[in-house]
Amino acid sequence: MRTHSRKTVGALLAVAVLIAACGGSDDAGDATDAAADETEEETEEDAADGDAEQDEMADAGGDALSGSIAIDGSSTVGPLTDAIAEEYAAVQPDVIVNLSISGSGGGFERFCNVGDTQISNASRPIKQDEVDACADAGIEFTEVRVGTDALTMVTSPDTGFVECLTTDEIVSIWGPDGVDSWDQVNPDFPAEPIEIFAPGSDSGTYDFFNETVLEPNDIEQPRQDFNASEDDNIIAQGVIGTPGSWGYFGYAYYVNNTDTLDAIDYDAGDGCVEPSPETAQDDSYKLARPLFIYVRNDALSDPVVADFVAFYLDTVNDVIEDVGYIPASDAALDEARATVESAIGSAG
C-alpha cells in the first residue's frame, strides 16, 4: 500500500515536471519553438492533404474519398448542413465534416478573414464588407442557394382575433413608436395589451424582418422594449404562455408547435397570405428568405469538397423538410448546380 501510493505520487509528479517544464519561464523559448514546429508540421500536412487525397482517389478508382471539411456559419442553416453531412457519412464514411455554428457573420469572418473554413452557412446574402474582406484575402467564392425559410409571425391561441396583419399594422406594433394595445393596431381588435417576443438584435432573423417590413417604410430601427432571445424555442415559449402575444421566428419552430401556436398571415398589399411551403416557393409570401451556403472556389479543386457540394444539392430536397425548412425550387437548384460546375471548371 505504502509503496503503491508513493509510486502514484511519483508518477503524478513526473507528469508535473514534464508539463511544468514546458510552461517554465526558463524553457519558454524552447517550448514556443516546439509548439511552432508542431503547428508548422500540421499545416503542411493539411496543405498536403488535398494532393494525398487525390492520389488515393485515383488509386481507389474515384469512389472512396477521405479528408475533412470545415464548415461554420448560420445557426439556421447549420442543422440543414448537418442533415446533409449525416447522409454523406453513409456514402463517404471517411470524410469528416466539422460543423460549427458561429452565426452568419462569425462564419464569414472565418471564411474570409481567417480562411480556415471551406464552406460558410448563411441565412442572408453576404454583406459588402464581407465581400471586400474575401477580396482582400484573395478568396473567391460561389454562392449556392440551398433552400428557403419562411419567417412566421405567431400569436398564442388565446389571441384568436389576430389572423392577418398588414405591413402598416406590423409597423404600428414593431415600429419605434410601437403601440401597447391591440385596439391601437386595428380598431376591430379588443383593447388587450400586446406582449412582443422576437429574436435578439444580433440575429439574421431580426435583420431580415426589419429589412422587409420596416426599411421600405424608411424606418431604421424597431422599438426596443420587447422580449428578446437568441433562441427561437424560448420565443415560442413566451408566445405560447402569454395571451395577446405577438412574435416571429423561423418556420421550423412554428411547424413543430402548430397545436400550441397560431400563425398570422401576412398582407403585403395583395391580400392575406399564409406562410406555407407553397406560398414561399411561388414568392407570394413576402417574409420568405433564401438560405445559402458559400463555397471557396479554390476548395472546389479538392474532390472532397466538390463531391460534398454536389451531394448537398442532390440531397437537400430529401432532407430539408425534416429539418423544418422549405425546398428551393428545382429551377433554383439547377441554377446552383450550374454555378458550382462552372466554378469547379474555373478552379481547374
Partner 1 sequence: MSVLTTPRRTAEQIAQSMASPRSRSTRERLFESVLLAATLLTLLVLAVLLVDVFRDGIGRLDLSFLTSYSSRTPQDTGIRTGLTGTLSLMVLTALFSFPVGIGAAIYLEVFAPDNRFTRFMQVNIANLAGVPSVVYGLLAAAVFVYLLNFGRTLISGAMALSLLILPVIIVAGREAIRAVSPSIFNGALALGATPWQATYKQVLPVAMPGILTGTILALSRAVGEAAPILVAGAVFSRRADNEPWNLFESFGALPIQIFDFVKRPQEGFQIEAASAGIIVMLAVLLIMNATAITLRNKYSKRM
Partner 2 sequence: MASSTVSPGEVDLRRRSNRIGERIVMRILFACGVLSILTTLAILAVLLIEGSVFFRNISIVEFFTDTAWRPFGDPASEAFRIGILPLVNGTLLVTGIALLVAVPLGLGAAAYLSEYARPGIRKTVKPALEVLAGVPTVVLGYFALTFVTPQLRALLPDGSIQIFNALSAGLVVGVMIVPTIASLSEDAMSAVPNSLRQAAYGMGATRSTVVRKVIGPAALSGIVSAVILGMGRAIGETMIVAIAAGNLPTMTLDPGDQVQTMTGYIVQAVTGEASRGSLTYNSIFAVGLVLFVMTFGLNLIAQRFVKRFREVYS
Among 65, 67, 97, 104, binds partner 2 (CB under 8 A): 104
The cell for 314 is: 442532390
What residues from 179 to 198 belong to the interface with partner 1 (CB under 8 A)? none
Contact 152, 325 (CB under 8 A): no
Does 96 sit near partner 1 (CB under 8 A)? yes
Question: Which range in 13-21, 55-63, 206-214, 217-225 contacts partner 1 by CB under 8 A?
Answer: 13-21
- Candidates 79, 103, 250, 275: give the one binding partner 2 (CB under 8 A): 103
CA end-to-end span of the chain: 68
∠ CA 197-202-207, rounded to 5°: 75
Classify the C-alpha dihedral 90-94-100-106 as positive or negative: negative
**Are the C-beta atoms of residues 118 and 71 closer than 8 Å to each other?**
yes
By CB under 8 A, name the one of 167, 172, 201, 284 that touches partner 2: 201
Q: How far apart are CA 312 and CA 147, in angstroms?
A: 11
| In the complex, least distance from residue 224 CB atom to partner 2, rounded to whole angstroms | 7
Cβ distance to partner 1 smaller for residue 168 or 231: 231
Residues 6+ apart with CB under 8 A from 252: 149, 232, 323, 324, 325
202 binds partner 2 (CB under 8 A): yes
Q: Find the helix or strand (DSSP H, E) in which 247 lies.
A: strand 245-249
Which grid coordinates belong to 51? 494532393
CA nearest neighbour of 297 among 107, 140, 120: 140
Whether the Cβ atoms of residue 108 and residue 130 lie closer than 8 Å to each other: yes
Residue 50: which of partner 1, partner 2, none does it interact with, CB under 5 to 8 A by kind?
none
Task: Say which entry of partner 2, partner 1, none residue 224 contacts (CB below 5 to 8 A, set by partner kind).
Answer: partner 2
Stretch that binds partner 2, among 85-93, 159-167, 229-237, 320-328 (CB under 8 A): 229-237
**Residues whose CB falls within 8 Å of the CB of residue 175, separated by 6 or more in sequence, listed in order:** 214, 217, 219, 222, 223
137 binds partner 1 (CB under 8 A): no
**What is the rounded CA–CA span in Å between residue 333 and residue 331?**
5
CB of 34 or CB of 272, closer to partner 1: 34
- Work out whether 52 is an interface residue with partner 1 (CB under 8 A): no
Residue 314: CB partners within 8 Å, gap ≥ 6? none
Please answer whether residues 98 and 70 qualify as being in contact, where contact means their C-beta atoms are separated by less than 8 angstroms.
yes
Instruction: Using the minimum distance from each CB to partner 1, give the nearer residue, 32 or 221.
Output: 32
Is 156 a residue that touches partner 2 (CB under 8 A)?
no
Figure out which of the listed residues 162, 323, 326, 333 binds partner 1, where binding follows CB under 8 A.
Answer: 323
Which residue ranges make up the site for partner 1 (CB under 8 A)? 1-2, 5-6, 9, 12-13, 15-20, 23, 32, 35-36, 38-39, 42-43, 68, 70, 75, 78-79, 82-83, 85-86, 89, 93, 96-101, 114, 116, 231-233, 250, 252-253, 255-257, 319, 322-324
Which residue ranges make up the site for partner 2 (CB under 8 A)? 16-17, 20-21, 23-26, 75, 101-106, 108-109, 113, 124, 127, 129-130, 133, 176, 195, 197, 200-204, 207, 220-221, 224-231, 234, 237-238, 241-242
